Structure 1
Amino acid sequence: MPHTSPADERVGPRGELERLVAQDPMAFRAFVVKNERAVFGLLSRMLGRGPHVEDLAQEAFLRAYRALPSFDPHGPAKVSTWLLTIVTRLALDERKRRKIAVAPDAEVEAVSDQGASSPFRDRARTELRAALEQAARALPDDQCAALVLAEVQGLSLAEVGEVLGVPEATAKTKVFRAREKMRAALAAFGPKAEGSP
């Protein structure tokens, strides 16, 4: 899956980052344009699709704008990781409030793109989507966030740990456990072993 995390701000001139931290409107507008796809993607994966995602994306960027003066442009953290921390916390709060499952559309679409549409494929796609939603709903919030950050956003385990505020080893454990739970929940959709019913 392609890497869809926010644009790496270390590529551009350091002055651009400093203007962003100083809340320069043009720098912030460029920052939003560079990162809106990743923000919407993360929110959609953690909360499902709908108009609430746009509202939460706006809230995330507003929180980021207000907090920009506290970001150290000379520190070790990338501003993209800092932004994903804000977005993830917002999504976790909303997920706890509403208890929403991860939106599995990309995984379902990847499976459905493997051949032409047919009634059998359509039914299988619907069943797979329902199973993914149920499996994701069963994940603890922190494991859901870790899985989405690692698998959908393409963050390294160190970055996942930074976003979640945990050591890299803990992030690795959360991603591993989330994968195992999803795998176990979706075992019925895999190939059957010989001799199994």
Structure 2
Amino acid sequence: MALALTAAELPGASPDITEATSRTGDIDDVTLRACQLGDRRAAGRFIRHYQHMVFAFLSRMVGPGPHVEDLAQEVFLRAYRALPRFERRPNTRVSTWLLTIATRLVRDRRRKRSPVLLPLHEETALPSPNAHPERERQRREIAEAFERAASQLSEEQRLVFVLAEFHGLSMQEIADLVGVPGNTVKTRLHRARQRLRELLGSLRETD
């Protein structure tokens, strides 16, 4: 039985994506099976479990803004349509499957739009009233420097960097998701890291 959720029933506000900086644990088998059978309460738990990860990935790939919410809704709608056919295997993770859907959506969007330079860092929350002003200033400067450097990465390098460094995927998981050999993933990730080191080094020298 396919899930019949509409976009209006999906999350209406972007969650705090600062939590989604590492691998997201998978949802339990009982909840997953209930989702596949059309249980709306289980579907709500599914959304809450993965929404931080999905919002974070999309923000890092297309830049933060209201468009991320629309893309996240589309990711979950596509997932719900496909969930009844999803089979959990020992090496198959729901989180990686969702990131695959999100990656395809980002690529579809890029093909329809002109490429732009986009920020890699997450939208940051307002500083705490107790935060030290100097520390906050340094944090912003570091984030801005990293953003300027990351905007110089190619789309392929950016994708593998985000999946590896922010979402904790293995080389093989990224290779399966992107559809390229593992050695290609390693090369792209190495070049992304190397390029960032070079750019951040040059930025420090010019500051």
Same fold (TM over 0.5): yes
Normalised TM-score (structure 1) = 0.75
Aligned in 2, Cα 1:34/1:18: closer, same or farther, shift over 3 Å?
A: same
CA distance 1:185–1:141, shift in 2 (3 Å): same
Tell me the residue number matched to 2:85. Answer: 70
After TM superposition, the structure 1 stretch with the greater mean CA deviation from structure 2, 85-94 or 40-49, is: 85-94
Give secondary structure in 1 for the equivalent of 2:195: helix
What TM-score, normalized by structure 2, do the two folds share? 0.72
On the 8 A contact 2:55/2:72 being kept in 1, the answer is yes
Distance apart, 1:152 and its partner CA: 1.2
Partner of 1:112: none
The alignment status of 1:48 with 2:66, answered yes or no, reads: no
Q: Which residues of structure 2 form unaligned runs of 5+?
A: 1-18, 126-130
Once residues 38 and 7 of structure 1 are traced to their aligned partners in structure 2, the CA distance between those partners, rounded to angstroms, is 10
Matches within 5 A, 1:12-23: 12=28, 14-23=29-38
Structure 1 residues 38, 100: CA separation in 2 closer, same or farther (over 3 Å shift)?
Answer: farther
CA contact (8 A) 1:46 1:100 kept: no
For 1:61-100, list aligned pairs within 5 A: 61-74=76-89, 76-96=91-111, 97-100=113-116
Give the structure 1 partner of residue 187 of structure 2. Answer: 173
Picking from 31, 36, 39, the partner of 1:24 is 39
Number of residue-to-residue matches in the alignment: 182
1:7 to 5, 16, 25: 25
1:163-191 C-alpha deviation (Å, 9 max, x unpaired)? 21233332222211111122222222346
- Counterpart in the other structure of 1:133: 147
Structure 1: state its 5+ residue gaps: 110-114, 193-197
The Cα of 1:125 is off from its aligned counterpart by 4.1
Q: CA deviation at 1:107?
A: 11
Q: Judging changes above 3 Å, is the alpha-carbon distance between structure 1 residues 102 and 152 closer, same or farther for their aligned structure 2 residues? A: farther
The CA RMSD measured in Å over matched residues stands at 3.3
Change (3 A) 1:3 1:50: closer
- SS of the equivalent of 1:41 reads helix
